[in-house]
Amino acid sequence: MKILLTGFEPFGGESINPSWEAVKAVQAPAGMQLEKMLLPVSFRKAPALIEEKIQSFRPDVILSLGQAGGREGISLERIAVNLADARIADNDGFQPRDEALQAAGPAACFSPLPLRRMEAALQTAGLPASLSNTAGLYVCNAVFYTAARLAENLKPAPRAGFVHVPYLPEQALGKEAPSLSLEEDIRALKIILGCLAGSEEERD
């Protein structure tokens, strides 16, 4: 099974992004080929880069990770929406407001990953995890929506999903925000990959 695993560079004044740290550190489970990719926090670049990589690597699953500062646990994203509305400018200084990502695209795409199974496996392992009904309207959602739309149109069709992780403890300091350690992120990512191994398309 071929998995494209992506994480993001730091943004919003942070010097680290837990999504890329976890992607970088995780090892491929037996029988799984992992292609790791660092994405820029850029509305103009990140969607095009992931599209190119999906076309050349032709993964079975695209699993993208991003940081969601302020969230308490692992967020298994259920839905990507066709909208960009940035609260802060991206790393290129671009700040789209109220813009469709794809003029002719559907309003939303649902994750085809086994999210409830992942949630149960993570919780059983003592990790905070839940389904989330919004991946935001920033670059993460743009990447999720773009990958999901391309995936739907490929044959054979890969499955594209998205997971948000909270701040690392060092990022949360002084913000009164919840955090999760990098070790926990890596443990969670391993469990999520384990749920993907051999899973069929399924929506919860």
What residues are annotated to the active site? 77, 140, 164
Contacts (CB under 6 A) with ligand PCA, residues 18-47: 19, 41
Distance of CA 91 to the CA centre of its chain: 18
Q: How far is CA 45 from the centre of its chain?
A: 16
Cα separation of 38 and 53, whole Å? Answer: 11
Residue 139 contacts ligand PCA per CB under 6 A: yes
Around Cβ 98, how many Cβ atoms within 10 Å? 9
Specify burial of residue 155 (Cβ count, 10 A radius: 0-12, 13-18, 19+): exposed
Told to check if 140 binds ligand PCA by CB under 6 A, we report: yes
**Interface with ligand PCA, residue 146, by CB under 6 A:** no
Q: Is 87 exposed, middle or buried (0-12, 13-18, 19+ CB in 10 A)?
A: exposed
Q: How far is the CB of 107 from ligand PCA (least distance, A)?
A: 18
Residues 48-107 that bind ligand PCA (CB under 6 A): 66-68
| Residue 47 or 136 with smaller CB distance to ligand PCA | 136
* Number of shown-chain residues binding ligand PCA (CB under 6 A): 12
The least distance separating ligand PCA from the CB of residue 126, rounded to whole angstroms, comes to: 24
Residues comprising the chain, all counted: 204
Q: Which stretch binds ligand PCA (CB under 6 A): 28-36, 77-85, 137-145, 193-201?
A: 137-145
Please give the residues from 158 up to 187 whose contact with ligand PCA meets the rule CB under 6 A.
none
Q: In the numeric block, which tokens belong to residue 80? A: 């990507």
